Structure 1
Amino acid sequence: MPETDMSEAATALPPVAEIFNPHSPEYMNDPVPQCLALAERGPIVWYEPWQAWIITRMEDVMACWKSEPLSSDFYDWEFAPERPPQDKWSNFERAMIGHSLLADHGHHRLVRKVVSPAFSRNVVDKIQEKIKPDVEKLFDELGTPETFDYIEEIAQHIPFISITRMVGIPEKYWPEIRKVILTFTETWNPTISDEQREAARQDCNKAIDIILKVIAERRAQPEQDDFLSTLLKIEEENENFEEWDIVTLVLALIGAGADTTLVAQQWSVYTLVQHKDQVATALASPDAFSNAFSEINRWGVSSKMGFARYAPEDMEFMGQQLRKGVMVLMMPHLKDYNPAYYENPETFDAERVFEPDAMFGYGPRFCIGAALAKRQLYLTMCELFRRFPDIELAEEPERDPDDHNAIVFKRLMVRTNA
């Protein structure tokens, strides 16, 4: 096509904001058309409503994860609150500035290296045995109702209980910490209001107070069989691994872990009850479910925003000139119904092959808690379908527009047929 014709064609395209709006009812009810339309606009697209660039292709997202040319530090965002001086830090700043999630790349790699044994297959197997009684207790208390709301009765409890039990937070602190830790992921979400972010920041300060109290108690009375005890041992053996690394790992595991796995709980049930012919395959083993969950995540397309990064300086990136501090969003979910990536993408296939499987990130930013998240999901799905093998949706669930980062349901009513 001649250059003039290409220019005219580009001019004729509607603004990106007209074809893509993750907060619209149309996106919540069926995100696929908007995701595919956005991906067709090119490998990196300017999105005016968020003042951000969006990376649309999986190969570019993976390259960005692997080489880390951009910053993951929220305070590097051009619209972030001013980075406070160290003598003005609250607990939140101590955790968020230079900590193990958003730290410089070298320290981040060190933390991953020293804590990786705490996420080994053997450890995950032991954690499953530890949380299994809690899962069974929830279902025992539920009984055999004709219908029930899976979110209210099961989903909203499982992630927090299982992750807190695994970390080693004493039950006496559960009611107090639950109130203030589940907004953790909102503290770095650039798309929410300043007021909402500040409220989440204050919640984090309160949650960190509790975590510090638990750490002090554990130092006085060491235990052996939980994640916190393991982290304290790692601290003793590694001079560059400090108490604030422990704080932020625990904060992320409970806060971010509970938030994301609550979404995963909903979509796992919603998907499997509609594909009961594949339940046995999906739940055949932890490894089988690990793969099936990647398919659940692909088939459901629950993401809204993706992963935020920020230009650390004025720079050229993917052929675009980025100003310092501009946000760049990586959106791997845009590929999930693209036939160029997946054969018959409309079909749910619990045995679909994912090579590579980058649902939980890739390279040095692969989610270190991925195995734990999938194992507690596996355990819960096994218990649900063991007790209610004939379970089905009682109604098509209404989407909840208020979640800041994902498509979730207001309620998930199921009929047990027990």
Structure 2
Amino acid sequence: MSTDDAVLEQLPKLEEVFDPSSDEYCNNPIKQCMALMERGPFVFYEPWQAWVMTDIGDIMECWRKEYLSSDFYDWEFAPPRPHEDDWGNFEKALIGHSLVSDHDHHRLIRKVVSPAFSRNVVDEIQRRIEPDIDKLFDAMGSPKSFDYITEVAEHIPFITITRLIGVPEKYWDEIKPLLENFTETWNPTISEERREEVRQQCNRGIDMIKVVIEERRQSPQQDDFLSTMLDIEAKNEKFTEWDIITLVLALIGAGADTTLMAQQWSVYALTKHPDQRQPALESAETFSNAFSEIMRWSLNSKMGFARYAPEDMDVLGQRVRKGQLVLLMPHLCRMDPVKYPNPEVLDVKRNFDPDVQFGYGPRYCIGAAMAKRQLFLTITKLFERFPNIELAEEPERDSSNHNSIALKKLMLKTNV
């Protein structure tokens, strides 16, 4: 037995020192994250029946080489992969879509749709959603205090995604459950009953996306995301309607739950540290860097990025069985003083090189710039409306979210 193995044997079981569902983790995740990192670069976590990759260099290499699968149905505990004849909307999206399809098709999709995420398009989306955000603040008026989460943050993902895609307001009620629940469908920790419930909600929501696409075929709109996608479809025979649908789902997956968390933690951080507001909000570019620092400082992640072993294989010196879950957890190092000097300090000018907040390599989130822009716009509006705003109270944290530490409320005093 090596010295390292002997030391590990004397340590308490990993589940005794690392439990992201616990109140202890919710209130102070730093100690538990560091305890997990100290176990090594690749460790097995029994409660999740998953391997955890902890080192940022290894994670970047995994993203770059793509030697693990992103396909949920490759998971050893996934329901049986249905035959293509039995696919519903959900299966067509999850099995065949460009997020988990073969690498060549994924690269094709990224190449042909990249113009739809250009700087000009992002500027146009900001112009389109700005009146809706103004309307939110106008309806609020000038209260002495308010809960930012219920009054603002919960509305932003829905406004942004529906305006971006071009979903008519008459369909908003039917699309909304899809936005709220899609990311939960591939969470490996939920019950099968809950998975089936959200699967059916997704089936209904995708039906409505099909209706919207057909309407847009009949009446294209300039600078509308769906119209742009339909133009790409007409010019590329390998790009199909299902690629359009799954890109919409990708935007939902990246922009719904994630955006809600980003909204509350960004406002909390900049309200708690008023000296950081001006350098963070100087421009969309400065906010892009500030956002990475806010997410590092908040350390609100729980699970990371799910991957699956496509075959029996060796990973970082460990034998991994086909189908086993591997979680890439780049957030674990965010409070490591070696990588981030004075990690407890919020410094929006901190340098990130590389910045892996939205992934890395071929799987880097194609909508990252769009997500940060709507966040920048909303927070800028908040501080313009209420320049003297401050925390009314320290928010209580909520451990119930499956993927992130949330805030139960974010009460702000306007001091108007």
Shorter-chain TM-score above 0.5 = yes
Distance (Å, rounded) in 2 between the aligned partners of 1:150 and 1:188: 29
Counterpart for residue 267 of structure 1: 265
What CA deviation, in whole Å up to 9, does each residue of 1:306-327 have, x standing for no partner? 0000000011111111100000
Cα contact 2:124–2:223 (8 A) shared by 1: no
Counterpart for residue 382 of structure 1: 380
What CA deviation, in whole Å up to 9, does each residue of 1:77-112 have, x standing for no partner? 000000000111111111111211111111111101
Matched position secondary structure for 2:335:
coil
Matched position secondary structure for 2:96:
coil
Counterpart for residue 335 of structure 2: 337
- The match for 1:125 among 96, 105, 123 is 123
Question: By how many angstroms is 1:138 displaced?
Answer: 0.3
Counterpart for residue 251 of structure 1: 249
TM-score by length of 2: 0.98
Distance (Å, rounded) in 2 between the aligned partners of 1:196 and 1:401: 18
**Is 1:281 the counterpart of 2:303 in the alignment?**
no
- The match for 2:68 among 67, 70, 95 is 70
Cα contact 1:289–1:378 (8 A) shared by 2: yes
What CA deviation, in whole Å up to 9, does each residue of 1:101-150 have, x standing for no partner? 11111111110111011101111111111111111110000111011010
Matched position secondary structure for 1:46:
strand
Distance (Å, rounded) in 2 between the aligned partners of 1:310 and 1:7: 26
Distance (Å, rounded) in 2 between the aligned partners of 1:190 and 1:130: 36
What CA deviation, in whole Å up to 9, does each residue of 1:166-199 have, x standing for no partner? 1111111112211333100001110111111111
Question: By how many angstroms is 1:5 displaced?
Answer: 4.6
Tell me which amino acid in the other structure corresponds to 2:275.
D
Aligned pairs (5 A) from 1:284-363: 284-363=282-361
Distance (Å, rounded) in 2 between the aligned partners of 1:150 and 1:6: 48
Cα contact 1:291–1:351 (8 A) shared by 2: yes
Distance (Å, rounded) in 1 between the aligned partners of 2:68 and 2:123: 36
Distance (Å, rounded) in 2 between the aligned partners of 1:186 and 1:310: 17
Matched position secondary structure for 2:146:
strand
- The match for 1:173 among 171, 174, 185 is 171
**Is 1:103 the counterpart of 2:75 in the alignment?**
no
RMSD: 1.0
Cα contact 1:223–1:229 (8 A) shared by 2: yes
Cα contact 2:179–2:256 (8 A) shared by 1: no
- The match for 2:136 among 132, 138, 141 is 138
Question: By how many angstroms is 1:262 displaced?
Answer: 0.6
Tell me which amino acid in the other structure corresponds to 1:297.
M
Question: By how many angstroms is 1:255 displaced?
Answer: 4.2
What CA deviation, in whole Å up to 9, does each residue of 1:358-412 have, x standing for no partner? 1000000000110010000000010000111111111121222221111111211
Matched position secondary structure for 1:336:
helix
Query: Which blocks of at least 5 consecutive residues in structure 2 are unaligned?
Result: none
What CA deviation, in whole Å up to 9, does each residue of 1:334-381 have, x standing for no partner? 010001211111110010010001100000000011001000000001
Cα contact 1:57–1:332 (8 A) shared by 2: yes
Tell me which amino acid in the other structure corresponds to 2:176.
R
Cα contact 1:182–1:255 (8 A) shared by 2: no
Equivalent residues, number: 416
Cα contact 2:14–2:36 (8 A) shared by 1: yes
TM-score by length of 1: 0.98
Tell me which amino acid in the other structure corresponds to 2:144.
E
Query: Which blocks of at least 5 consecutive residues in structure 1 are unaligned?
Result: none
What CA deviation, in whole Å up to 9, does each residue of 1:207-236 have, x standing for no partner? 100000000111111111211111001101
Question: By how many angstroms is 1:305 displaced?
Answer: 0.2
Distance (Å, rounded) in 2 between the aligned partners of 1:358 and 1:5: 34
Identity of aligned residues (%): 64
